[in-house]
Copies of this chain bind each other. A is one copy, B any other.
């Protein structure tokens, strides 16, 4: 019996989830739900599209609703709302508001006897798991997270809002010397500027003041002021040819030690260094994120089937719940 999946929201992430669900033999994509007029939404795989107003009538047709909305305004409202009707999963990533979002989803999901997984994807998500595993195994070490090289959609949007900018793409790039030092277990203290640089490709409007645009970018608070930022002006054709993808990735590097303790006889045990690295090189950020959400949708369904309810994060979910294979199969082939 297939797990019946609904997708709420059909932007880049929704399309990524669609592709991921369609390669899972144990899942069936019931449809895409949108706040737009369904007639105006063309779905790549051809599954039905419904207006979100139909969701309350479809509680017996959808096992897990994967919510592909924005963290700023969509998810804080949508995830608790639909956790009253379905097992849900989102990629909420406004870090400071996670406790409130978790509490809201927890209340709604528990009342409904449903599972609500929040903050799923790769960061938060797979990167978070790796920070937790490493810190649990080697307490007292240092965790470093590097992002990129990859496109930051938030930073690209921020540049597009500047007067005279027609299009923009911003790449976040880790500083190689910082990566090398962390990988060598040197435990450096790194400022924001020492960890990442920002590289911007901008298509300017005809006759725009490029010097002024550059100054506005590099001095923009929060987004660019604390970084070494390089701005390149390019043509629309070059933007389309070279920068139409959404690659991303990065590394979580954890550096810890064992030993160094004083023995009963007064001698000191040698200090041993250990470096753990988890890294991603992704050709498509939304397709990979969609694949992570899809695997966790399987877990949401199974946890709910076994009688569990409430808000969960990737921390609360045993790895086996993500796999379509049985316990016997994964022990035989992956352990």
What is the interface of chain A, defined by CB distance below 8 A to chain B? 16, 19-20, 22-24, 43-46, 95, 98-99, 102, 119, 124, 126, 128-133, 135-140, 143, 183, 185, 258-259, 261, 263-264, 269, 272-284, 287-288, 290-292, 294-295, 298, 313-320, 322-324, 327-328, 330-332, 334-335
Query: How often does this chain occur in the complex, in copies?
Result: 2
Bound CA–CA A263/B275 (angstroms)? 43
Contact of A320 among B19, B132, B272, B331 (CB under 8 A): B132
Residues from chain B with a CB closer than 8 A to the CB of A140 are 23
Q: Which of A137, A277, A280, A316 has the most CB of B within 10 A?
A: A137
Bound CA–CA A219/B331 (angstroms)? 32
Residues from chain B with a CB closer than 8 A to the CB of A138 are 288, 291
Bound CA–CA A277/B280 (angstroms)? 7
Within the complex, the shortest CB–CB distance from A130 to chain B, in Å, comes to: 8
Complex: chain B residue closest to A126, CB-CB: B133
CB pair A274–B288 under 8 Å, yes or no, is: yes
Residues from chain B with a CB closer than 8 A to the CB of A334 are 128, 131-132, 135, 143, 315
